[in-house]
């Protein structure tokens, strides 16, 4: 869905979220064409505030994020292993192909194959480096119960005193995505573990400075 608004009575502004599929294809393609913006936004904020006061919800967030992290790590490992095997196999073929090239030879099927293998290996190595970087990033940002508790318990006390711009930034930090099922009316909030960890670190630092 994408944000939109309409103006009634000259100055009364109504904000809502509208289904992008309905906009592009037809209204019958979406079970819920649009929803009031304030209603869904207030609901999401209230859910975030509740987490800070309910240990079981904090644990639910940690477990949910941990399960997704495990899935992401497995996906990356499943990609990395065949990349490594292919690279090793191509390196072996390069050694064998190089032995077939005569001195001063500049054009032959063996040279063309060698160029192809080197290009494949370079592509694989770039992807392997990216995958390893992603694995490291995920492993270094594992979310703990303390992280969620610190981030969420400090959310409610400061919310009302924040400017609209800062409120938007805070929500963008801790939330990755909000899904709305038009048929069931169900709202699912996906949290951003890296954002929550950063928010927890920031809140801890603020508390330490206040106590100093």
pLDDT score at 137: 86
User: Which tokens in the block code for residue 168?
Assistant: 């938007």
> What's the whole-number mean pLDDT along residues 153-181?
87
3 close to 17: Cβ distance less than 8 angstroms: yes
Of all helices (H) and strands (E), which one includes residue 3?
A: strand 2-8
Q: Which of the four pLDDT bands, split at 50, 70 and 90, describes residue 122?
A: very high
| Structure letter (DSSP) for residue 126 | H
> What's the whole-number mean pLDDT along residues 27-32?
76
Q: Is the pLDDT of residue 212 over 70?
A: no
Q: Is the pLDDT of residue 207 over 70?
A: no
> What's the whole-number mean pLDDT along residues 85-99?
95
Beta-sheet pairing, 175-181 with 2-8? unpaired
Residues 6+ apart with CB under 8 A from 54: none
58 close to 145: Cβ distance less than 8 angstroms: yes
Across all residues in the chain, what is the average pLDDT?
87
Of the ranges 8-22, 85-99, 102-116, which is most confident?
A: 85-99
197 close to 143: Cβ distance less than 8 angstroms: yes
- Taking only the tens place, the pLDDT of each residue in 48-77 is 888 878 888 888 888 888 888 889 999 999
Of all helices (H) and strands (E), which one includes residue 39?
A: helix 37-51
131 close to 76: Cβ distance less than 8 angstroms: yes
33 close to 27: Cβ distance less than 8 angstroms: yes
pLDDT score at 210: 66
Least trusted range by pLDDT, from 121-125, 172-176, 200-204: 200-204
């Amino acid at each position: 869905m994408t944000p939109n608004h309409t103006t009634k009575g000259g100055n009364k502004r109504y904000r809502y979220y509208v289904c992008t599929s309905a906009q592009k294809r037809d209204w019958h393609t979406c079970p819920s064409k649009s929803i009031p913006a304030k209603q869904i936004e207030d609901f999401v904020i209230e859910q975030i505030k509740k987490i800070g006061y309910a240990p079981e919800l904090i644990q639910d967030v940690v477990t949910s994020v941990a399960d997704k992290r495990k899935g992401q790590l497995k996906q990356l490992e499943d990609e990395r292993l065949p990349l490594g095997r292919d690279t090793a196999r191509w390196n072996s073929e390069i050694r064998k192909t190089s032995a077939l090239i005569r001195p001063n030879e500049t054009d032959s099927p063996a040279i063309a194959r060698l160029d192809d293998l080197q290009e494949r290996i370079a592509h694989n190595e770039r992807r392997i480096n990216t995958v390893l970087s992603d694995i490291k990033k995920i492993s270094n940002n594992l979310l703990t119960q303390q992280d969620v508790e610190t981030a969420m318990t400090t959310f409610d006390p400061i919310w009302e005193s924040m400017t609209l711009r800062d409120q938007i930034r805070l929500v963008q930090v801790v939330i990755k995505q909000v899904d709305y099922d038009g048929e069931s009316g169900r709202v699912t909030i996906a949290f951003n573990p890296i954002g929550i960890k950063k928010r927890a670190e920031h809140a801890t630092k603020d508390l330490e400075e206040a106590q100093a």
